[in-house]
Structure 1
Amino acid sequence: MSQPGYSDKVMDHFMNPRNVGVIEDPDGYGKVGNPTCGDVMEMFIRVKDDRIEEIKFRTFGCGAAIATSSMTTEMALGKTVEEGLKITRDEVGRELGGLPPNKMHCSNLAADALHMALEDYLNKAAVRKG
């Protein structure tokens, strides 16, 4: 039962999102918003031995925003920090089987929130090293 323009994979990630929630005192945190559509995404990561050991998100937005957040966390989990930074907006959209053109900005937000959380982690790690 897919909606017009949405793949079954998008609908699955919207109806059954993975990795929803908050990580208290995360190693990295990113928050992005798109004032045009009102979507806001938060991404929380826990890193161990340079790998994304745990990742959670909280998204306030449309179904596509929730689906892209869910897919992004699935793609990043278990990856190294460097691999996570290479996850692109286009890859998220492709993994979901595509998004309607007017919803592609949602996949942009999810990748941006991930990159922001990873950069936050790297900045904190650099401060700890002194």
Structure 2
Amino acid sequence: KALEAAVANYRGLKAPSVTKEGMVCRCFEVTEEKIRKVVLENRLTTVAEVTDYTKAGGGCGSCLPRIEELLREIWSVKPPELPRERKKLTALQKIALIQDVLEKEVRPLLQADGGDLELIDIDGHRVIIALRKMCVECPMGGVTLQNIEEKLRELVDEKITVEAG
């Protein structure tokens, strides 16, 4: 569909219309409801961010003005929320959240580059991680650990430190 829409746009024709109600991006079949949901959940403020999260606007580009209009509508009614203070987690909740972030946010990125990690221990705010596979000899291992630390601080607790184990 994206290719069809892009070809039609290139030829100066209208892209084939999709009858689905509320459709904003016909190339990737992204609805207004989906865009609103993603914008609010992730506090997106630019068209580029919406495209990164939903692909809307990544095809022929004819929906870009509508995406921009939606962003203005959303944030004129509800301003972006400032980060709230996190509720105090129990030790068990904190461990589970750290494991979840590592599994869902970090490991897939490392594995995409042939690397991996192993969670060795969690001691208070110290998270001890061993880099595995291609990450073992990578000269960017220190940067990788810093990036993991930033992600855990963002999503779990600002006091977390990550160490190699």
TM-score by length of 2: 0.28
Q: TM-score, normalised by structure 1?
A: 0.34
The structure where strand makes up a greater share of residues is: 1
Larger radius of gyration: 2
